[in-house]
Amino acid sequence: MPDDRLTSSRTTATFGDQEVIRGEGGETHQVAGGDVPVLTTQQGIPVSDDQNSLRIGYRGPTALEDFHFREKIFHFDHERIPERVVHARGFGVHGYFETTDSLSDITRADLFQRAGEKTPVFVRFSTVAGNKGSPDLARDVRGFAVKFYTQEGNWDLVGNNIPVFFIQDAIKFPDLIHAAKQEPDRGFPQAQTAHDNFWDFISLSPESMHMALWIMSDRTIPRSFRFMEGFGVHTFRFVNAEGKSTFVKFHWKPKLGMQSVVWNEALKINGADPDFHRRDLWNAIQAGDYPEWELGVQLFDQDFAEKFDFDVIDSTKLIPEELVPVRIVGRMVLDRTVDNFFAETEQVAFCTQNIVPGIDFTNDPLLQGRNFSYLDTQLKRLGSPNFTYLPINAPKRPVNHFQQDGHMAMVNPKGRANYEPNSWGGAAGGPREAPDIGFKSYPAEEQGAKLRIRAETFSDHYSQARQFYISQTPVEQTHIADAFIFELSKVKTPAIRSRMVSHLMNVDDELADKVITGLRLEQKPKPADAARPTRKDLPASPALSILLNGPDSFKGRKVGVLVSDGVDIDLVKSLKEAVLAEGAMLEFVAPMVGGVKASDGTWIEGDEKINGAPSVVYDSVAILLSSAGAALLAKEATARDFVNDAFAHAKFIAYNTDAMPLLDKAGVAPDIDKGFVELKGSGDAKTFVQTCRKVRFWEREAKVKQV
């Protein structure tokens, strides 16, 4: 195995996109397939036999002297590092950010100065509550952390796919996370908020109500990382060359529009493909279909902040885009998967305090607390203050300072001077401060008594929760109510269910009534006492809906085509052509993975076997069968599920007449609606793909859900 650590040996090689010294010895030897490097120990000693440990006699005991065996097992025993206490399950990829609109009048941040300039980035998407091995489609907030390797150092924008947060003060973070994760006595449930502790905490924390609405919406079950928004959440500051400050909120807008799955799909996808999101991103990038987001900023001044209904440093509130428009200033393209998951995705260390000249913090108490937590957690996780030397964390500009030593010190300052001021002249004296270009904190004036209080300006917990709810389409409102009913039905303590409903009564009567009915609460609770009794009726903000901001094409989506022997080759060809022309993907699902023989003898290779690719993993499906194939698959339970689920999940379904026996056995034949497209001739495939641009036939959903 090649050894990527720093050694004293001779060659350099690329690791990710970093050049590092690499321990490749000079020796190679010939095996079938050509010259390969010689296997060595960590000390570079060539290994003759890696199959057998050293033993005394043919069947005797293993010798302690076997340094190769001991070194190999020792290293293996130490392979794991602590997983992140939150956001343990993540997936990282490389890309670049391109400035499209100079912001030089607003900020001196180098990366925003010149339109057309590209800055390398590393992005890690994650779920929050689940452990490292938990399924991708848990109902959960998604982390959206971006490390910009700018020419003035690393800037980490450590955001989520939701623009607000559960709590207002970082001191509540451990409680929130303890309540969300597995209950400590039993060690479950995994990656779920549907349990007593979580809803107990939330229902006792009215400040969480806005976020509670968001997490019960389809934002927490995205179809793909590629189809979700990202947010910096907090209000930050931009500071320009003259020292003038402008408040800013950051937004990532997916080029392919937003899209989520439905809850019943999420449950099934987690079983069928726990790696659904990472596989999706990996496949898209490997196929050259690079996902893209626009970076937008909401800019506002102190005057706006003072007039706004809410405190701009309260992270449980957002500023509607209709009030402060989002100005697009750049785009981010993710175009490279990692070479090594551990070295990059696992070892990347995001820290909110990593900011660059021209960007600054505000007094948001959540942000202030985060600035302590992230550096601290990286030391625990990565084990040394020298984690900044790991290639994935190292800035892509020269680093000069007098910090030294510690575990794994890889690059210590050279020369005699390891302190300053010093009187060693010139280069011998080492690096010096640069008052003209160095980072300067914005000189915000602060005064006041030392207090443990929550500002009065943070006290309205319901108005924006309601605004979010009324901004949703009826389909989305139903999903929110259903999610509350689902989660609270998993709560075993009736008092917690009622307490949660008492908050919903302060949000929206119709929502509360739906949940009361769905839970079959016999006694309607009293509305929760609110710190501020009156709730402002804010106008709807269409930007908050997923469905109103969906895709305008089927690009980047995937069609699952169920095929059988004898399938009409012309239909298959025309469908494939139409799907690819749209920039979408297509997979053949066959009774056996080897594939099927089409009507003209053409062999169609299967991408999946029918029981390995239920329709939940596709955006739409096509059932293209011969009559013999339909008769066979009508007897196959997984084929019937394929059709039935696609129908229940309001997917668009293409089919040919010969496939009818399967549709019939699956119980959907009597309900063929406008979400079905019959493929008779080659022109119909195009119609089907155009229909799919709407992603779902939502009109069907209400008909398949009666309870």
Positions at the binding site for heme: 84, 124, 173, 370, 374, 381
Q: Which of 68, 94, 154, 160 is catalytic?
A: 160
Shorter beta-carbon distance to ligand HDD: residue 93 or 639: 93
| Pairing mode of beta strands 596-597, 585-590 | unpaired
Minimum distance between the CB of residue 239 and ligand HDD, rounded to whole angstroms? 21
Tokens of 655: 């089919």
Distance CA 553, CA 226 (A): 14
Minimum distance between the CB of residue 250 and ligand HDD, rounded to whole angstroms? 11
Figure out which of the listed residues 120, 153, 369, 566 binds ligand HDD, where binding follows CB under 6 A. Answer: 369
- Under rule CB under 6 A, residue 650 binds ligand HDD: no
Query: Is residue 131 annotated as part of the catalytic site, yes or no?
Result: no
- Under rule CB under 6 A, residue 130 binds ligand HDD: no
- Provide the CB-side half-sphere exposure for 521 (13 A, CA): 25
- Under rule CB under 6 A, residue 269 binds ligand HDD: no
| Pairing mode of beta strands 18-22, 558-563 | unpaired
Choose one: 1-9, 36-44, 84-92, 407-415; the region binding ligand HDD (CB under 6 A). 84-92
Q: What type of residue is 108?
A: R
Shorter beta-carbon distance to ligand HDD: residue 99 or 160: 160
Figure out which of the listed residues 40, 160, 260, 388 binds ligand HDD, where binding follows CB under 6 A. Answer: 160
119 SS3 class: strand
415 SS3 class: coil
Q: Among 72, 81, 73, which residue's Cα sits nearest to residue 1? A: 72
Question: Rounded to 5 degrees, what are φ and ψ at 77?
Answer: -60, -25
Figure out which of the listed residues 95, 135, 159, 560 binds ligand HDD, where binding follows CB under 6 A. Answer: 159
Beta bridge partners of 597: 603
Figure out which of the listed residues 370, 461, 479, 557 binds ligand HDD, where binding follows CB under 6 A. Answer: 370
Query: Is residue 363 annotated as part of the catalytic site, yes or no?
Result: no
Figure out which of the listed residues 103, 211, 228, 233 binds ligand HDD, where binding follows CB under 6 A. Answer: 233
- Under rule CB under 6 A, residue 86 binds ligand HDD: yes
Tokens of 140: 């959960």
Distance CA 596, CA 588 (A): 10
* DSSP states along 483-501: HHHHHHHT---HHHHHHHH
Tokens of 172: 């509540």
Q: What type of residue is 524?
A: K
Beta bridge partners of 95: 121, 334
Figure out which of the listed residues 22, 68, 94, 124 binds ligand HDD, where binding follows CB under 6 A. Answer: 124
Q: Name every residue whose Cβ is closer than 8 Å to that of residue 402 and which is 6 or more positions away in sequence.
A: 413, 417, 418, 419, 420, 430, 431
Q: Is the Cβ–Cβ distance between 231 and 251 less than 8 Å? A: yes
Q: Is the Cβ–Cβ distance between 348 and 147 less than 8 Å? A: yes
- Under rule CB under 6 A, residue 355 binds ligand HDD: no
Contact positions with ligand HDD (CB under 6 A) in 661-700: none
Choose one: 81-89, 129-137, 605-613, 621-629; the region binding ligand HDD (CB under 6 A). 81-89
- Under rule CB under 6 A, residue 145 binds ligand HDD: yes
> By rule CB under 6 A, what string of x and - marks binding of each residue 301-330 to ligand HDD?
--------------x---------------
Figure out which of the listed residues 68, 84, 317, 558 binds ligand HDD, where binding follows CB under 6 A. Answer: 84
Query: Where would I find the beta strands (DSSP E) of 458-591?
Result: 558-563, 585-590
Minimum distance between the CB of residue 392 and ligand HDD, rounded to whole angstroms? 11
Q: Which of 68, 87, 251, 649 is catalytic?
A: 87
Alpha carbon 352 to its chain's center: 17
Choose one: 365-373, 412-420, 579-587, 607-615; the region binding ligand HDD (CB under 6 A). 365-373
Minimum distance between the CB of residue 479 and ligand HDD, rounded to whole angstroms? 23
Figure out which of the listed residues 20, 85, 194, 470 binds ligand HDD, where binding follows CB under 6 A. Answer: 85
- Under rule CB under 6 A, residue 362 binds ligand HDD: no
Shorter beta-carbon distance to ligand HDD: residue 297 or 679: 297
| Pairing mode of beta strands 359-360, 676-678 | unpaired
Q: Among 588, 549, 547, 593, which residue's Cα sits nearest to residue 571? A: 588
Angle (CA) 278 275 252, round 5°: 35
Q: For the chain, first and last CA: distance in Å?
A: 57
Minimum distance between the CB of residue 236 and ligand HDD, rounded to whole angstroms? 11
Figure out which of the listed residues 15, 91, 155, 165 binds ligand HDD, where binding follows CB under 6 A. Answer: 165
Residues that bind ligand HDD (CB under 6 A): 84-87, 90, 124, 126, 143, 145, 158-160, 165, 170, 173, 233, 315, 348, 350, 366, 369-370, 373-374, 377
Residues marked as catalytic: 87, 160
